[in-house]
Structure 1
Amino acid sequence: MKVKDILDEKGYDILYTEPENTVYECIAKMADHNIGALLVMKDSKLLGIISERDYRNKIILKGKASKETKVSEIMVDKVIAVKPTDNINLCMQLMTNKKIRHLPVLNDEKVVGVISIGDVVKAVIRSQKNEIDSLRDYIATGGGYMS
């Protein structure tokens, strides 16, 4: 299964914030959409990503004010991204190894979507279920064995 398959099912909506927005505005947008991260973009260019973890570690635990701090001050600017043609196993490996939960999807350096760890896990489960169902059908029909 490919990243494109996930996006085809969940949609290609891209929620983002701009670097000059406040962290408070960003967190409010995340809450409104019940998501854990936002891309940081300017003029359709991906500049970074900001997550609930960034808010916790760089605002709350450092005693900063979210209404005064700009997104650009705490965003992660070295973004790990994938392509629509990448396999979901690669996504799972990246997310596990890098301890991240969201991957922007780029096609020729243009953002075309975002996938989360939840999206990847659902896709893996669906893929495994389909494989199990196919094997059960194969077994139930005699495995193609002709007597």
Structure 2
Amino acid sequence: MQKFISPVNLRSLFVKNAEDIVREKGNDVFSISAHATIEDALKIMVAKKIGAILVEENGEIVGIWTERDLLRNSILDDFDPKTARIGDYMTKNLVTADASESIYRMMDKFLGLRVRHLPIKKDGKVIGLLSAGDVIKAALIEKTREFDELNEMVSWEYYENWRWSKK
């Protein structure tokens, strides 16, 4: 029996990267000034149905504001979303992913660094923002495709080798 890799099966040798997922999802990236209020950020997040927004100052990304930041800061005595500046409460240590990073490398970052959102950079510029859910969905689609391809290979191999035997 001859083993070969068809063009269909060759696809499973390559894993999607961050740029592929951004392209499929759409590259809408929402940002807000570090001088804006938290209430301003929350209004955008609710209107756009997003869980995170990038924070910028002088055209540069300086942090991220997430649902988790809201929860963590809401118990502080001096926290008032109507007057608090987002730059004072945002997550400043921004964890990013390169556009060429694989699904599995990004999953390592989500789990190992306990973050839920990764800005995706290409040539030093943010091209998208992926959530853990976006990446897990892409991984499940990849695994389903791989399973279907393997199942097809096994099925054809079974039928090709099946013989009627005369008694």
TM range (shorter): over 0.9
The DSSP-based 3-state class of the residue aligned with 1:14 is coil
Measure, in 2, the Cα distance between the counterparts of 1:129 and 1:57.
37
Q: 1:23 Cα deviation (Å)?
A: 0.4
**Cα offsets for 1:20-73 (capped at 9, x unmatched):** 000011011111111111011234311100111111111x11131101100000
Q: 1:12 Cα deviation (Å)?
A: 1.1
Number of residues of Structure 1 aligned to a counterpart in Structure 2: 146
Match of residue 94 from structure 1: 109
Measure, in 1, the Cα distance between the counterparts of 2:160 and 2:67.
55
1:4 aligns with 2:19: yes
Measure, in 2, the Cα distance between the counterparts of 1:7 and 1:40.
19
Who wins on radius of gyration, i.e. which is larger? 2
1:123 aligns with 2:138: yes
Q: Is the 8 A contact 1:44 1:110 kept in 2?
A: no
**Cα offsets for 1:71-104 (capped at 9, x unmatched):** 0000111101011111111100001111111000
**Identity across aligned pairs (percent)?**
27
1:38 aligns with 2:53: yes
The DSSP-based 3-state class of the residue aligned with 1:85 is coil
The DSSP-based 3-state class of the residue aligned with 1:136 is helix
Q: 1:110 Cα deviation (Å)?
A: 1.0
Amino acid at match of 1:52: E
Q: Is the 8 A contact 1:84 1:107 kept in 2?
A: yes
Unaligned runs of 5+ in 1: none
The DSSP-based 3-state class of the residue aligned with 1:73 is helix
Amino acid at match of 2:42: I
TM-score normalised according to structure 2 size: 0.82
The DSSP-based 3-state class of the residue aligned with 1:141 is helix
The two structures, once aligned, show a CA RMSD in angstroms of: 1.6
Match of residue 109 from structure 1: 124
Range 92-101 or range 40-49, more displaced: 40-49
Match of residue 22 from structure 1: 37
Instruction: Give structure 1 regions of 4+ aligned residues with deviation exceeding 3 angstroms.
Output: 143-147
Measure, in 1, the Cα distance between the counterparts of 2:18 and 2:97.
8
Amino acid at match of 1:53: R
